[in-house]
Amino acid sequence: MDGSPQITIADAPFDSPKKADVILRSSDNVDFYVMKALLAFSSPIFRDMFFLPQPQHDRASFRSTDNPPLDIVAIQYESAPLQNVLLLCYPQIGPGMQPKLTSDDIIEAYIIAEKYDMETVIQLLEDALSTIPPKFIRDPLRMLAIAVQHGWVDFYVLKAFLAFSSPVLRDKFAESPRSRSSSSTPRKSHPIFSPRLENADEIIAAYAVAEDFKMDAIMKQLEEMLLASKAIKEEPLRILAIAIQMGWEKVGKLAAKNTLSIPFGRLPFSNELNTITGADIWNLQDYRQSCAHAIHAWFHRNNIGGGRPWRPAGVCKKSFVRP
């Protein structure tokens, strides 16, 4: 065994060197045999990569064992979304090969298409997304957050989701020509099924939109997600600064509590600290000192260990929301 990764050949129509002049290798080591001309037609980035002179260090660093050998271009995305993008690039594909995309498939493929500036593919993905009823979007809050980050807020499916959640947006979308062409009428909102937003940046991006449009129920859910996120344990000072800005009392208290296990000098800097004041930092230091005193008093009362777990209580309490 030489330790080399196992390479898999993609499914048709990307499985034949006879129909290709370059190989795209996905991050999970699947090789796609493709035609440079078709990719260049779909993407100016691929066009420049394939047909303009490139510095030596930018060239494909390895070639296949095919006869003749083909350049292999490493792509940083996995094979499933890459295949969906490539299928949308290829004309006259048989009906059985057309990708059947879920909302998650569309999100992942869209990120690749945007990376390579594939305008036609982006339009096809937007059209595909517009055909998915809101109730079949598995994770609407995640889609909302990603949509905000990528500027997709004019999608029909997001309009439907947001209109159900916000009277402000419902009125705005009613004035849209695309909304008037839709045959759907407002109905009771579908419940949000087990959203799984864990990334703090996605949660905060979604919250900003929800707050602007007075989406109170979604704002509450997003705050609860942040309380359950890894970030509140791994980046407590950053999350505390965000909580102070947002007025999130519960988030602020838990984030401050999570700083107690880290020496103050080892709490990492984050840009969010620029949004809070010296008084906020003093407040945190005072809280930490009060907790230290409370711990010391507990040990003293229990002769340094009485078998009972310590809980911050009494003097070790503080509000982190500005009055």
- Tell me how far CA of residue 181 lies from CA of 71, 125, 129, 175, in angstroms: 47, 20, 16, 11
Q: Choose between 160 and 99: higher pLDDT.
A: 99
Residues in the chain: 323
Task: Tell me the average pLDDT across 200-224.
Answer: 78
Confidence (pLDDT) at 189: 31
Q: Is the pLDDT of residue 192 over 50?
A: no
pLDDT tens-digit profile of 300-321? 777 665 555 545 444 566 666 6
Q: With H, G, I as helix, E, B as strand and everything else as coil, classify residue 32.
A: strand
Please report where in the chains the tokens 């994770």 appear, as a residue.
Answer: 139
Note the pLDDT of residue 59: 46
Report which of 130, 138, 36 is spatially closest to residue 89, judged by C-alpha positions.
Answer: 36
| Alpha carbons 159 and 152: distance in angstroms, whole number | 10
Give the Cα separation of 119 and 46 in Å (integer): 13
Hey, is 286 helix, strand or coil?
Answer: helix
Residues 104-130: tens digit of each pLDDT: 888 889 889 989 999 989 888 877 877
Mean pLDDT of 222-246: 90
Look at residues 157, 154, 148 and name the one whose alpha carbon lies nearest to residue 129.
Answer: 157
74, 63 contact by CB (below 8 A): no
**pLDDT, position 156:** 45
Q: How much is the CA Rg of the chain, to the nearest whole Å?
A: 26
How high is the pLDDT of residue 171? 57
Predicted confidence at residue 188, as pLDDT, reads 29
Q: How far apart are the first and last CA of the chain?
A: 66
Nearest CA among 178, 195, 82, 194 for reference residue 130: 178
- Please tell me the pTM assigned to this model: 0.48
Confidence of residue 232 (pLDDT cuts 50, 70, 90): very high
**pLDDT: is 97 or 202 the higher one?**
202
Q: Report the pLDDT value the prediction gives residue 190, as an integer from 0 to 100.
A: 31
Least confident span in 97-101, 120-124, 135-139, 157-161: 157-161
| pLDDT value at residue 178 | 42
Q: Which carries the bigger pLDDT value, residue 62 or residue 286? A: 286
In terms of pLDDT, which residue wins out, 119 or 103? 119
How far from the centroid of its chain's Cα atoms is residue 234's Cα?
18
DSSP states of 59-118: S-SEE-SSSS--EEEE-SS-HHHHHHHHHHHSSS--GGGS----HHHHHHHHHHHHHTT-
Query: How much is the pLDDT for 174?
Result: 53
**Which has more confidence, 217 or 234?**
234
For position 281, what pLDDT does the model report?
92
> CA distances (Å), 67 to each of 18, 73, 210, in order?
10, 17, 56
Residue carrying the six token digits 């009428």: 185
What is the per-residue pLDDT across 259-282, written as a single tens digit (0 to 9) for each? 999 998 899 999 989 999 999 999
Greatest mean pLDDT among 86-100, 146-160, 284-298 lies in: 284-298
User: Position of tokens 């045959």?
Assistant: 183
pLDDT per position as a tens digit, 30-80: 999 999 998 999 999 999 888 876 555 444 456 667 667 888 899 999 999
pLDDT at 298 over 90: no
CB atoms within 10 A of CB 253: 20
